Structure 1
Amino acid sequence: MNHKLGSRTTLCLIAGLVALTGVVACGPEQAGSKQESGGSQPKASSNAVAGADQLAACPSTPSKPPVSNALPDVTLRCLGDGPDIRLADLRGPLVVNVWAQWCGPCRDEAPYLAELAKTGKVQMLGIDYADPRPELAVKFATDEGLAYPHLVDADKTIQRALKVAGPPLTAFVDKDGAVVYVHHGVLTSQQQLDQLVRDKLGVTL
């Protein structure tokens, strides 16, 4: 009896120690997970996606008074490094291209946008639209050489203001901040894009 009682007591002690060890082990692990989660949320959500820090940084934009026919008054986060940007604060000459990595025509027109950006004659801004795969969006922008800032509009907040049926869409913003023209659909040639910049923004390339 004493032997059985001793064995039973020993088993209970072992079970208790195992349970206690399990509790202690979960504590630091959970704390570590929280720290890791917090550490992966940078100030501007820039490094949340692998490779995002390789994209052009979003600039700080001072607050501007409202203008007629401006870009929608919404604030979007940066796909790469940099702060969130309030679209209504932007002034041109500026070309805003709405795209998504799942959009075939967006890939077709990407070389024309990349080439325009190289001229340095106009500001360029991309908006990754309704895109469920940010890691693929980063890869798209990097692979296509779109060396200008990009924002994220996962919730289609610009849809109504710019009448976005779907990407691609390209908006032209003048020096006063007014949207002077919106091209719906794919850009079919470098000549077409360059001509739109000349005609709508008065910029000679």
Structure 2
Amino acid sequence: MNRPPSLRTARRGLALVAGALAVLGLLVACGDQEPGSVAKEPDGTVAGADQLTACPSVQSRPAVAKALPDISLPCLGKGPDTRLADLRGPLVINVWAQWCGPCREEAPYLAELHRKAGGKLQLLGIDYIDTRPDLAVKFAIEQHWDYPHLADRDKQLQQPLKIGGPPLTVFVDKDGAVAYVHRKPITSQHELDQLVKDKLGVGL
């Protein structure tokens, strides 16, 4: 004999509730971190941030012609926010993201440049529109990028630097003027070293 429709509906509803409770229980058992959420240290900072080179305090300076955008960005690791217009070179700024394939390919060239440059040249990284700063920190550590990194999660630099997407590399001279913007991946160590020599006059 067929059950009344109302009884079938009630049983179906109970089954759905039971299924939802089972899923909820599984999620609780797996922990309170949602998929894709950012791993944090107990003090609330991004996991691994203390392993990155800290961002230094930069002296406030008057504006110069062809300067970097007058925008302040937070440090990806530890340290104060940095006002880009205050920076002086010779300086190489690399805009990157851990989700960007070409950024990963050019990463060793930047690490080697920093190793060879010594006191002749400064490097600065900017992690761009990255929703997982913990993975960005992990990537920077794995690549031995032993120089400071900032974070631009809200695309503040998109308009001023005309960023279509990472990677992008900016060459800043000793006076703080943008000497050149390289809008494609670095494909070899020789190419990067030559750009530094040609655009900033720094031989390695």
| Structure 1 length-normalised TM | 0.77
Q: Distance in 2 between matches of 1:145 and 1:169?
A: 19
The superposition leaves residues 141-191 of structure 1 with CA deviations (integer Å, 9 ceiling, x where unpaired) of: 000111100000000101111110000000000000000100011100000
Name stretches of at least 5 consecutive residues in structure 2 with no aligned partner. Answer: 1-39
Q: Distance in 1 between matches of 2:129 and 2:189?
A: 26
Which residue pairs with 1:80 in the alignment? 77
Which residue pairs with 1:201 in the alignment? 200
Q: What is the CA RMSD across the aligned residues, in angstroms?
A: 1.2
Q: Distance in 1 between matches of 2:151 and 2:181?
A: 19
Q: Secondary structure at the match of 1:192?
A: helix
Q: Secondary structure at the match of 1:159?
A: coil
The superposition leaves residues 8-48 of structure 1 with CA deviations (integer Å, 9 ceiling, x where unpaired) of: xxxxxxxxxxxxxxxxxxxxxxxxxxxxx9x835xxxxxx1
Which residue pairs with 2:14 in the alignment? none
Aligned structure 1 segments of 4 or more residues deviating by more than 4 angstroms: none
Which residue pairs with 1:112 in the alignment? 109
**How many Å apart are 1:61 and its aligned residue?**
0.2
Asked whether 1:40 is paired with 2:43, we answer yes
Q: Distance in 2 between matches of 1:87 and 1:57?
A: 16
Which residue pairs with 2:49 in the alignment? 52
Q: What number of residue pairs does the alignment pair up?
A: 162
Q: Distance in 2 between matches of 1:84 and 1:100?
A: 19
The one-letter amino acid paired with 1:88 is: A
Q: Distance in 2 between matches of 1:141 and 1:165?
A: 22
Name stretches of at least 5 consecutive residues in structure 1 with no aligned partner. Answer: 1-36, 42-47
Q: Is the helix fraction higher in 1 or 2? A: 1
Q: Distance in 2 between matches of 1:169 and 1:191?
A: 17
